[in-house]
Amino acid sequence: MDFLIKSIPQIIDAGIKLLTSLVTALPTIITAIVKAIPQIIDSIISAVIGSIPMIIDAGIRLLVSLIQALPQIITTVVTAIPKIVTSLVNAIVGNIDKIILAGVQLFVALIANLPTIIVQVVKAVPQIIAGLVKAFTGYISQMAQVGGNLIKGLWQGFSDAGAWLWNKISGFFGNVVSRIKDFFGIHSPSTLFAGIGRNMGEGIGVGFEDAMAAVSRDMQNAIPTSFDLNYGRLSGQGGAVPAGTSITQNISVVTPKALSEKELAREFKNLSRKLALEF
């Protein structure tokens, strides 16, 4: 200690002289370094090029060694996972108080510096917006291309889905028709539906005849069957009709539907019988 204390002036003087010498010699040092830079770079390039076979060989050996040792590495890592997890849990549990304290201190520091942070953020907002606008402007063409590709992809997906859906629907109805034919024992649909058509035609004819019979009954019920005739005026004798006297009577028939000649003849025949019975 006595030696160091006594030597302090000499040490300071030596340091000053060393610094002065370095500063004075700095241009010479820089010049020498600049002159040596090409030689240094050339030596580095030559050494790297000359060592490429060794580097490639070393890289291949390293890769092969890693691949060969991969099972052992994986086994070691898997074996170490419980220890790693246990260590992490123990470290976290053992330092919960410190973590909470650090979180509180961080929160307090954020609140204390919030005005400064807000001011800096506000100042940076124009730069942020300008950067965003510039970034989006530079990528508008790419975004348009991406949008077009997205729409084309969606349309292609819809087209593929439509074909798939049509195949499913056509297959479904084909199976339904086949099952119905199997259930009813249909082997020739044309023959079956031809029979159905004939039955429908016959059914329509029967229904028409029944309906016309009902119309005929309604007509017969609507036409009066009793007439108050004054025959005395014809002959001047009591109520008897003299021999050789002819009576002409006009009858109008009103029907809701047009009748054929055959149907009209039948109706008039029935009316004539009723009138004959009344007389």
Of 133 and 240, the structure prediction assigns the larger pLDDT to 133
Of 102-116, 169-183, 236-250, 253-267, least confident by mean pLDDT is 236-250
Q: What is the pLDDT of residue 134?
A: 81
Q: What is the pLDDT of residue 3?
A: 84
Residue range 186-217, pLDDT digits in tens? 666 666 666 677 777 777 777 767 767 776 67
Q: What is the pLDDT of residue 235?
A: 44
Q: What is the pLDDT of residue 229?
A: 47
Whether the model pTM is above 0.75: no
| Mean pLDDT in residue range 103-113 | 86
The chain-wide mean pLDDT, for the chain, equals: 77
98 vs 18, 84, 92, 125, CA distance in Å? 49, 21, 9, 36
Of 35-49, 198-212, 247-261, least confident by mean pLDDT is 247-261
Of 113-117, 137-141, 213-217, least confident by mean pLDDT is 213-217
Burial of 192 (C-beta count, 10 Å sphere; 0-12/13-18/19+): middle
3-state helix, strand, coil in the chain (%, to 5): 85, 0, 15
